[in-house]
Amino acid sequence: MVDKKILLLGSGFVAPPCVEYLVRKPENKVTIASRRLENAQALASKFPGTVACSCDITNEEAIEKLVAKHDVTISLIPYIYHALVIKAAVKYKKHVITTSYVSPAMMEYDQAAKDAGITVMNEIGLDPGIDHLYAVKTIEEVHRDGGKLKEFISFCGGLPAPEDSNNPFGYKFSWSARGVLLALKNTAKYLEKGKVYEVSGTDLMDSARKLNTGYPGFAFVGYGNRDSTPYDVRYNIPEAETIIRGTMRYDGFCQFVKALVILGFLSEEEEAHFAADAQDITWSQVIAKTVGIQDNSREALEAAIIAKCDLENHEQKAQILDGMRWLGFFSDIKVHRRGSLLDTFCATLEDKMQYGENERDLVFLQHRFEIELKDGSHQTRTSTLVEFGKVGGYSAMAKTVGVPCGIATQLVLDGKLTATGVLAPMTHEINEPIIELLEQEGIGMVELIL
């Protein structure tokens, strides 16, 4: 039995289910590399056949040395460093797996990867990843049967389970609060009924729509996620009149966030009263400055917020104000000053909105396909994934990102995924083996014809 050497860059929360999948085969020897050695050691201690090392991912020479010693590198580090990993992999003719979207910097190595005869497999987590697998599956089935895909609408959300959604956002943080909030500034672009719409970050929350998922127990809303328009080419659906890929949240999230946006809570501008050496300041004082009044009593602050956010006749006025009370906005609680209103706010969110020890998360992903069949008749199909985290085990998000990544890695090692270049799961030749193994792990989308 020949050892297969795997380098895992990164030891974050999606890494353990990936490693657990790979170490089932004794010939797989995994090196876990992290900037902080103790993080890599903590993960390696849980799995036989693994060793830990430290690695500075900004150091090209250090990356090269590690990549050269292994058959395949799994890169779970921030996406801006993937191109550096791919560059080293091309040099030493080694394979690479990432769960990230293919960036222009990564795509620059496509021909070099082909020339080197290596597989650089990307977008193989949840979203992107599982979403691609089942979208392409249905689209190819429709085309094979002579049909046309007229509408493709897909929403995905990583959320707390309903019983643990006990805060005004209906959301909890398993990663950077700052990253979640800044994503709300992104412009969304999508195709609907033949027309391209572009929604600026400031209008994103207003664009949210209630989602009819067929699961009445969940009250979801969705809004566009970045640019959906390239998917006419990526999914080979030039005939589609509607293509929307978006983010899913519990109802109430968007209305509450919109009020916070109006108040300026996404501002990254440094302000003197948030400086590290400034005097202590309370939340009620911060809100008074934010709405431009002197009086920081609860009554005065609520009245100013209602006026500034136009909440007087808003159906969720009481809910939004209750949420602000929950955050401590009308209290004498001292804020954790971090330079800007955004970062100061994030400090509070990170205190109050982490997952508790016995809480679990939920991943909900649904595709909706509107199809014109060969005979001209109409058909609606859905593909739905509902995955709950396990208390004391893996979160749903970690499992649905880490396991597909592990499967793709194993298929490359076994010579069953042999396409070369910088790839994403966009063809049945790549996708079908992954889906088969994914469903053996109890992860898969339920497909229905309505």
Which strand ranges, in their side-by-side order, compose the sheet holding 72-75?
A: 50-54, 28-34, 4-9, 72-75, 95-98, 119-121, 421-423
Residue 287: predicted pLDDT: 95
Region 402-418: mean pLDDT is 97
% of the chain beyond a pLDDT of 90: 88
Calpha distance 411→393 (Å, rounded): 25
According to the model, what pLDDT value does residue 377 have? Answer: 97
Which residue, 3, 10, 45, is CA-closest to 401?
10
Q: What confidence tens digit (pLDDT) does each residue in 16-27 have?
A: 999 999 999 999
Q: How far apart, in whole angstroms, are the C-alpha atoms of residue 205 and residue 307?
A: 19
Q: Which tokens is 32 given?
A: 């876990």
* Predicted local confidence at residue 278, as pLDDT: 85
Place of tokens 């749903």: 396
Closest CA to 323 of 127, 166, 204, 164: 166
Structure tokens at 148: 């046309």
Q: Is the pLDDT of residue 145 over 80?
A: yes
Residue 285, both tokens: 């004082």
- For the chain, give the percent of residues with pLDDT over 70: 100
Local confidence band at 173 (pLDDT 50, 70, 90 cut-offs) = confident
**Residue 269 identity:** E
CA R_g for the chain: 24
pLDDT at 414: 96
Q: What is the fold of 4-126+395-444?
A: Rossmann fold (3.40.50)
- The reply to whether CATH 3.10.20.30 applies to domain 130-257+356-388 is no
H or E stretch covering 410: helix 396-413
Res. 277 pLDDT band, cuts 50 70 90: confident
Segment holding 382, helix H or strand E? strand 378-388
Residues of the chain with CATH 3.30.360.10: 130-257+356-388
Cβ atoms 294, 285 nearer than 8 A: no
Residue-wise pLDDT tens digits, 51-80: 999 999 999 999 999 999 999 999 999 889
pLDDT band at 183 (very low <50, low <70, confident <90, very high): confident
pTM reported for the whole predicted model: 0.93
- Among the listed residues 56, 127, 251, 295, the single catalytic one is 127
Mean residue pLDDT of the chain comes to 94
Angle, in degrees to the nearest 10, between helices 298-308 and 317-327? 130
Task: Note the pLDDT of residue 201.
Answer: 82
Beta strands in 25-90 (DSSP E): 28-34, 50-54, 72-75
What integer is the mean pLDDT of 219-230?
Answer: 95
- Catalytic, 56? Answer no
